Structure 1
Amino acid sequence: MAEDAFTEHRPLLFTIAYEMLGSATDAEDVLQESYLRWRTVDPATVRHPRAYLVRIVTRQGLNHLRAAKARREEYVGTWLPEPIRTAPEVSDDAILAESVSMAMMLVLETLNPTERAVFVLHDVFGYTHREIAASIGRTEVTVRQIAHRARRHVHARRRRFDSDSDAARAIVERFLLAAATGEVQALMDLLAPEIVQISDGGGKVVAARRPIIGRDDVARFVLGVIRSTAATTRVEHATYNGMPAARFLTDGELDWLVAFEIHDGRITGLYGIRNPEKLHLADTVHPLDRGEPQPWKR
């Protein structure tokens, strides 16, 4: 049945849509639209349901991405992807963990919609240039050129990080303890010299509107935030976007979320999301799946 096929491949379809859009809300919209289109297709005419569904999601995702690009140009402050809560096993797939990380999602945001779709489908999900060309309505030669350009762009800007692990979570715990107790040197020892802190309030809540770069400035910022945090704030550990994260709840409500980028035992990136519109799905665990490439034929 059509519904059974869609449900079976939903984790893969969501993963593709999210990596194309950087928004779980938009990804869910794409899946809803794709499902409605899929319901109009006679399943008996489709030899490879998963591949056919990927094609539908890709086209719907491109439509949404083009519209989102215009909206994000007017975004107040720094834009960060809508965080998704991921199961710990996502970190076991190095390619998947990197592809949904905050750092990679920000790099993907610098690509144009077609470049982003091609890069995601080819480099993350392993589809061939010919298969992608059939999906986005371009020639195979053109897709190959787009893929080369996008890959060069991404590789020049990607940041190295370690996936969520016991060691990474231990560093986060030490960071939170040092920040809470005001132990400046202990905090500084955990931060890489070139650390970048990015906040996203969307103009709706108080948040730094520009990235903060460098160990000294980031340490001052963190200690200032902790001092201003309400006494009723509770901290929970979690995994978001394949990265160790901390959830800050005030009076039982999620107030902000911080994802930690860690490399070689030091924190190299802090990604703080406070925009309430991006936190409303933060309690939902999203199953992610890269699947195995299949032919794009019906």
Structure 2
Amino acid sequence: MTAQGSQDEADAAVSFDPLRPLLTRVAYRMLGSVADAEDVVQDAFLRWLGTDRSVVREPAAFLRRTVTRLCLDQLKSARSRRETYIGPWLPDPLVEEEEEDDVTLPLMLALERLSPLERAAFLLHDVFGVGFDEVAKTIDRDPGATRQLAARARAHVRDARPRYKLEKQRGLEIANAFFEASRSGDMAALGAMLAADVGMWADGGGKRPAAAIPILGKALVMKVHRSVAVLLRKYGSTLVHTGLINGLPGFVTREADGELQTTALEIEDGKVASIYVMRNPDKLKHMH
């Protein structure tokens, strides 16, 4: 790279780097993948580098628009990949993220059921506070259509938003108790924590053993944990960290195969209503 090229890249980075965390949050919430989000943001930087930045009045809006459009392109290919995905698909886990916008794991799964344009309209307006005129420019729709997209999205994700905010410390206490009971084989203690209609989703991506379908209902979830507890007593499971995982209380463990695993718990009325287990090593690389 020439000296002029190096200086131009440095100048571009001065205005881009302060926005990188926000742009990455937008991309991750659109795509559910840390690696894909980072790739999109880097692509946006390269486009910023090739832009006449002197005519851009609002770099944040310009770059948010660029990232969103790149994500919309990505989602077209992501949909076809998801159709052939082995077992349940879960978004990459983010540990101890500041969840100021309340985008928890269940909400991210609900976003997966939306069209890409509905997802963009909802996230930009309802989560990131972007006005509808700007959202309309970003997704190349008129403001009226954009409002309808956001309204449809809002209706679809309503049930995925928490009815009340769980006190963080209480959530972490339940997560610790869940770890102890599930690893020690104390099925009485574990059963007392579970809601009657509890569900369990495990994402192995075909790379590690995991249930190929969701496990629904307390009886089946208990059955799975009885079997797993036998293996864990024999081979071990080490607690690495307890904290928030995509806004839910949970924990990170190192399993007998040496790989990391995350377990996130959705808690309603003091009971564990949903269990989300990430075992796919490709989705855990960023945590090493």
Normalising to structure 1: TM-score of the pair? Answer: 0.87
Partners of 2:256 and 2:235 lie apart in 1 by: 10
1:235 paired with 2:245, answer: no
Percent identity of paired positions between Structure 1 and Structure 2: 39
Alignment of 1:61-140 (within 5 A): 61-87=71-97, 90-91=98-99, 93=100, 96=101, 98-99=102-103, 101-140=104-143
**Cα displacement string for residues 151-174 of structure 1 (whole angstroms, at most 9, x for unaligned residues):** 111114545474571111111111
User: What is the CA deviation profile of residues 77-111 of structure 1, one whole-angstrom value per residue up to 9, with x for unaligned ones?
Assistant: 11111112234xx14x2xx2x31x22111100000
CA contact (8 A) 2:30 2:120 kept: yes
Q: Give the aligned partner of residue 5 of structure 1.
A: 15
Amino acid at match of 1:267: V
Contact 1:256 1:273 in 2 (8 A): yes
For structure 1, which segment, 225-234 or 145-154, has the greater mean C-alpha deviation from structure 2 after superposition? 225-234
Tell me which residue corresponds to 1:268: 273
State the alpha-carbon separation in 2 of the partners of residues 152 and 224 from structure 1.
39
What does residue 68 of structure 2 align with? 58
Matches within 5 A, 1:221-260: 221-229=224-232, 231-236=235-240, 237-250=242-255, 253-260=258-265
Q: Is the 8 A contact 1:161 1:262 kept in 2?
A: no
Query: In 2, Cα distance between the equivalents of 1:281 and 1:167?
Result: 27
Structure 1: unaligned runs, 5 residues or longer: 284-298
Distance in 2, matches of 1:163 and 1:14, equals 26
Closer, same or farther: CA 234–182 of 1 in aligned 2, 3 Å: same
Q: Separation in 1 of the partners of 2:197 and 2:163?
A: 13
Match of 2:36 among 26, 31, 36: 26
C-alpha spacing 1:65/1:53, structure 2 compared with 1 (3 Å) = same
Whole-Å separation in 2 of the counterparts to 1:117 and 1:209: 30
SS of the residue corresponding to residue 281 of structure 1 reads: helix
**Amino acid paired to 2:195:** A
Cα pair distance change 1:160/1:220, threshold 3 Å: farther
Aligned to 1:281: 286
The unaligned stretches of length 5 or more in structure 2 are: 1-10
Deviation at 1:5, TM superposition (A): 1.8
* Distance across 1 between alignment mates of 2:227 and 2:15: 51
Q: Deviations over 1:18-74 (max 9, x none)?
A: 110111111011001101001112222122111111111111111111110111011
The alpha-carbon deviation at position 250 of structure 1 amounts to 3.4
Q: CA offsets, 1:157-203, max 9 Å, x none?
A: 54547457111111111112222332222111111112111011111
Match of 1:155 in 2: 158
> RMSD across aligned C-alpha pairs, in angstroms?
1.8
Instruction: Assess if the C-alpha contact under 8 Å between 1:133 and 1:140 holds in 2.
Output: yes
Seen in structure 2, the aligned counterparts of structure 1 residues 232 and 184 have a Cα distance that, compared at 3 Å, is closer
Question: Secondary structure at the residue paired with 1:259?
Answer: strand
Q: How far apart in 2 are the matches of 1:73 and 1:160?
A: 31
Is this contact kept in 1: 2:255–2:261, CA < 8 A?
no
Q: Does the residue aligned with 2:266 lie in a helix, a strand or coil? A: strand
SS in structure 1 of the partner of residue 42 of structure 2: helix
1:44 aligns with 2:47: no
2:48 aligned counterpart, secondary structure: helix
More displaced 10-residue stretch of structure 1: 144-153 or 254-263? 254-263
Matched, 1:14 2:24: yes
Alpha-carbon distance in 1 for matches of 2:19, 2:217: 43
Q: Which TM-score applies when normalising by structure 2?
A: 0.90
Q: Answer 1 or 2: higher relative contact order, Cα 8 Å, separation at least 6.
A: 1
Q: CA deviation at 1:125?
A: 0.8
